[in-house]
Amino acid sequence: PLFLSQRATSILRESLETKVAVFGDLSPEVAETYRLLGGADLAQGNHRGAHKKLRKCLQIQTLLYGPQDKRTLATQQTVDVLSKAPEVAVKSRQAPRAKPAFYTGVSQHAALGKARPNAAD
């Protein structure tokens, strides 16, 4: 039921900041939470939100597991499909990125586990 999925999504969102604080930004737990949140957005028809969260998941998975790992490849495939969705593609063309799509550096806040992820969108 929709109510259960909304409740589960709410719990996942609330857990994200704690997982970042406990496990760090670049952890399997944080990657999996972004993957699940992206899947929930996708199930609710929010393609733009799903794309954003799955891209974050993909960045973490690529650093943790490498680009050829089956988890990374599965997420990459979903991100590629979502990139072609009209609402995602239009948004991407309208807003050129000011930063590179894949940033390998870790900020001081992220290194200390104090980064605050924005999972609300």
b/e code 62-84 from CB counts within 10 Å (16+ = b) = bbebeeeeebbeebbebbeebee
Number of domains in the chain: 1
Q: Is residue 40 part of a domain?
A: yes
Q: Is residue 49 part of a domain?
A: yes
Q: Is residue 121 part of a domain?
A: no
**pLDDT score, position 88:** 86
Instruction: Look up residue 88 and give its DSSP letter.
Output: H
Q: Is residue 70 part of a domain?
A: yes
| Cβ contact 10:31 at 8 Å | no
Domain containing residue 37: 2-91+104-111
* CATH assignment of the domain containing 31: 1.25.40.10
**pLDDT score, position 5:** 74
pLDDT under 50 in the chain at which residues? Answer: 96-100, 103, 106-116, 120-121
| Cβ contact 52:39 at 8 Å | no
Q: Is residue 81 part of a domain?
A: yes
Q: Is residue 51 part of a domain?
A: yes
